[in-house]
């Protein structure tokens, strides 16, 4: 115990039933989010690209505030005021058929599901760009969605009571969701390399 991180590495594998993080209804209808008063820490404070348990306090504070105010998820901004990520998800926007997301320059964890969605978008031939994303970009997007291991692919339908696009799951979001679901359940041969089968 202590703050000197000199601990032997051990492995534990746990398995238990897990509902979709933002719910099945959220995956279909989209979720309502709010911009958090908590700012995402930046890489000069601790490495934002590391998945480390102590860093989740930032997310816990943000999502607790969002739930207290009647929203389903929080959106954290980085220290410069650009969008960072959700409490446990990366953010993607769709505008005029193009997909946008940010990268490690904006204090995000480079998620595995983020990488999967980038690959799916590329395979679909969608135009894709990685850059800073402003709150104004999000509010004027045609579609927006979160990606994350626990969340999978979840549409964002509102930000602080302002509808994104039509306020529903958009067609590009749905197409990516459908392919992601097929890929992660072994029903799309293009992505079999993503899976490690375990036999009883």
Q: How far is CA 12 from the centre of its chain?
A: 25
Q: Is residue 45 pLDDT above 90, yes or no?
A: no
Bridge partners of 156? 31
Q: Is residue 12 pLDDT above 80, yes or no?
A: no
CA 57/CA 166 separation, integer angstroms:
33
Q: Where are the domains of the chain?
A: 24-191
- Catalytic option among 27, 51, 119, 174: 51
Summarize the confidence of residues 41-49 as an average pLDDT: 85
Tokens in use for 28? 């279909």
CA 192/CA 78 separation, integer angstroms:
35
pLDDT digits (tens, 9 = 90+) for 57-116: 999 999 999 999 999 999 999 999 999 999 999 999 999 999 999 999 999 999 999 999
51 is catalytic: yes
Tokens in use for 37? 């008063």
> Could you tell me the CATH superfamily of domain 24-191?
D-amino Acid Aminotransferase, subunit A, domain 2 (3.20.10.10)
| Backbone dihedral angles phi then psi of residue 94, each to the nearest 5 degrees | -125, 125
Tokens in use for 161? 């009571």
pTM of the model: 0.91
Q: Among candidates 97, 112, 102, 106, which has minimal Cα distance to 173?
A: 97
pLDDT digits (tens, 9 = 90+) for 143-197: 999 999 999 999 999 999 999 999 999 999 999 999 999 999 999 999 999 998 8
Q: Is residue 42 pLDDT above 80, yes or no?
A: yes
């Amino acid at each position: 115990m202590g703050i000197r991180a000199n601990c032997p590495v051990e492995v534990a594998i746990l398995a238990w039933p897990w509902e979709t993080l933002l719910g099945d209804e959220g995956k279909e209808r989209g979720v309502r989010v709010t911009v958090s008063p908590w700012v995402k820490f930046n890489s000069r404070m601790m490495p934002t690209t590391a998945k480390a348990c102590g860093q989740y306090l930032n997310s816990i504070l943000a999502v607790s505030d969002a739930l207290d105010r009647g929203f389903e998820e929080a959106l954290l901004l980085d220290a410069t005021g650009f969008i960072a990520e959700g409490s446990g998800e990366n953010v993607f926007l769709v505008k005029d058929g193009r997909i946008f997301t940010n990268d490690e320059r904006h204090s995000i964890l480079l998620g595995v599901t983020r990488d999967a969605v980038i690959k799916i978008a590329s395979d679909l031939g969608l135009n894709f760009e990685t850059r800073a994303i402003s709150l104004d970009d999000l509010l004027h997007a045609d579609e927006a969605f979160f990606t994350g291991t626990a969340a999978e692919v979840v549409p964002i339908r509102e930000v602080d009571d302002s509808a994104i696009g039509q306020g529903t799951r958009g067609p590009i979001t749905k197409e990516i969701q459908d392919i992601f679901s097929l890929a992660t359940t072994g029903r799309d041969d293009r992505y079999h390399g993503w899976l490690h089968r375990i036999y009883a």
